[in-house]
Chains A and B, each alone.
Chain A
Amino acid sequence: MAMSAAPPRRGERRLLVVVLRLALAGVILAGWEAYGRLVDSSLTSTPSDIAAVLAGWARSVLWLNLGVTLFEIAAGLVLGVPAGIVAGLFLGRARVAGALLRPIVVLFYSVPFIALTPLLIMWFGVGSASKVMLIALSSFFLLFFNTFAGAQEVDPDLVAMADIMGASRRERFVKVIAPACAPRILSGLKTALPFALIGAVIGEMLAARAGLGNLLMDSGNDFDMAGLYAALAVLMVVGVVMNALAQRLETWLLRWRP
């Protein structure tokens, strides 16, 4: 029937967008390739050169360096995130301690964490430990600030309801306060994730023996343009994947939101 063409329109439009996006990417890459070949400057590279470098790395240095960076991010987050959430929940609900800590919290929140990198490298050396600590510290504070604010904003009527129902202190935390903070905790996490990548890369650029930041610096020091771009491309992929994971997590945890 002629009418059957109408319903899949939305799907068709989506497909069209995908095709157009791919076409746009193709045009940009082709333009870049053409420009790079025509000008042949030492400051530009070409997509084909970059692809060649990536292919070479894939058989050699890429996996170790990628692994080191991902390890630093994961270890830092594992240390910092749960501790930040727990500290934020408890101090956010303790009235006196909360009031006492507020100025300190504001003070710490104003420090650009990245500025701690040299200090941490002095304390923990040029290996992964200093990067892990940087990420742990920054993610701890980012989660702490957000959870702390969230815990102070919990609707007192919900807490009173749980009290009257007979909830113990622990149950009040687990069943009311912590889930009520979930939106804040997630927004903390969504700040902490990209920051963890930045922290790892900057730490590695300043002083390291391995990692994507190190790879980037090495390429730069060798005036290896294709290598620089290749390292950036890898970082871009890591960043995109991390953000997508955070987005998935948020959609799932906050599925109750209208």
Chain B
Amino acid sequence: MDEPVIELTGVAKLFDARGVIAKALDEVDLVVRPQRFVALVGPSGCGKSTVLNLVAGLLDPSAGSVRYRGNPVERPNRRVGYMTQKDTLLPWRSVADNIGLPLELACRALGRAERHDRVEQMMELVGLAGFGRHYPSELSGGMRRRAALARMLIYEPETLLLDEPFGALDAQLKLVMQQELARLTHLRQMTVLFVTHDLTEAIALADEVAVFTRRPGRIRRLCKIDLPQPRDIVSVRFTPDFAGYHDLLWNELKEEFGTGGDA
């Protein structure tokens, strides 16, 4: 099979929280192959976001190795797009200027007119049409998430790291955005590492779901989701196979919640 895009081998991560050493990850092995969509689920605080930070090159592992296309990740990884859980829109830029930022950079600079068109398209796609001139402080939390998503998708990075991208959205919009993400990542042949709390979302979107234990996070079970791609995000939920996966994974997950995790 293809060479892995992302490869974590025996990864542990310790944090020093005011003198107390906390272990966020322990012995994590994970391989993500090209064009695969891998979802990470687990109790909050189990280190899922830490995995994304390691792949993005914002943190170094305390033990083990993190590789991207065969090379150790040692500095910010410019081949990925990363949508963090925290809001990182630039507050002094309008929504349109935030979304267009990646296309202003010299490494992929576009002309003003073309940039404007792409931004308009992207805002349409995430349902922000007409809000281009607003500042982030004037938007709701859900709208800011969508703007951040648009800013990442607009430059079509080969790999997406997404940390609960749809957490703050209402149910209907969530479905629309999930469908768009599925369509776009399939169309552009992107590789995706996706952190979520929502098991249904994970199964509907992903090729593989990794269930994390509570802290220190390890991968408790890695499950291939053999539902044909591309999928219809809504109707796939009503197939018997989907229900089977849901039962299986929920049973794994429930034990992590049941034994006194901090979720």
A12 at the interface (CB under 8 A from B): no
Chain A residue contacts of B107, Cβ below 8 A: 166, 168
Q: Is A238 an interface residue (CB 8 A)?
A: no
* Complex contact A164–B80 (CB within 8 A): yes
Q: With A158-B90, A258-B138 known to touch, is A166 a contact of B56 (CB < 8 Å)?
A: no
Residue in contact with A165 in the complex, picked from B92, B101, B136, CB distance below 8 Å: B101
Give the nearest-CB partner of A156 in chain B.
Answer: B58
A179 touches B92 (CB 8 A): yes
How many angstroms from the CA of A157 to the CA of B104 in the assembled complex? Answer: 19
Give, as a whole number of angstroms, the nearest-CB distance from B194 to chain A. Answer: 17
Instruction: Give the interface segment out of B81-89, B168-176, B220-228, B246-254.
Output: B81-89
- Does B77 make an interface contact (CB < 8 A)? yes
Asked if A87 CB lies within 8 Å of chain B CBs, one says no
Interface of B, helix, strand, loop or mixed by DSSP: loop
Bound-state Cα–Cα, A249 to B108, Å: 33
- Within 8 Å by CB of B76, from A158, A164, A255, lies A164
Q: How large is the interface on A (under 10, 10 to 19, 20 to 34, 35 or more residues)?
A: 20 to 34
User: Is the pair B105, A166 in contact by a Cβ cutoff of 8 Å?
Assistant: yes
B93 and A157 within 8 A (CB): no
Interface assignment of A176: CB less than 8 Å from any CB of chain B: yes
User: Is B105 a contact of A165 with CB atoms below 8 Å?
Assistant: yes
Interface string of B159-174 (1 = CB under 8 A from A): 0000000000000000
Known: A158-B90, A165-B105, A166-B108. A257 touches B78 (CB 8 A): no
Bound CA span A51–B64, Å: 82
Bound complex: CA of A165 vs CA of B136, how far in Å?
19
Distance in angstroms between the alpha carbons of A168 and B105 in the assembled complex: 8
In the assembly, what is the distance between CA of A167 and CA of B76, in Å? 11
Q: Which residues of B contact A176 (CB under 8 A)?
A: 90
How far, in whole Å, are A161 and B88 apart by their CA atoms in the complex? 7
Interface CB pairs A-B, < 8 A, 28: A158-B90, A161-B82, A161-B84, A163-B76, A164-B57, A164-B76, A164-B80, A164-B81, A164-B82, A165-B81, A166-B78, A166-B102, A166-B108, A167-B105, A168-B105, A168-B106, A168-B107, A171-B106, A175-B90, A179-B90, A180-B92, A182-B92, A256-B91, A256-B93, A256-B94, A256-B135, A256-B136, A258-B137
Binding site for B on A (CB under 8 A): 155, 157-158, 160-161, 163-168, 171, 175-176, 179-180, 182, 254-258
Report which B residues bind A (CB closer than 8 A).
56-58, 76-78, 80-82, 84, 86, 88, 90-94, 101-102, 104-108, 135-138, 155
**Contacts A166-B78, A171-B105 given; 6 further ones with Cβ under 8 A?**
A161-B82, A164-B80, A166-B105, A167-B105, A168-B105, A180-B92
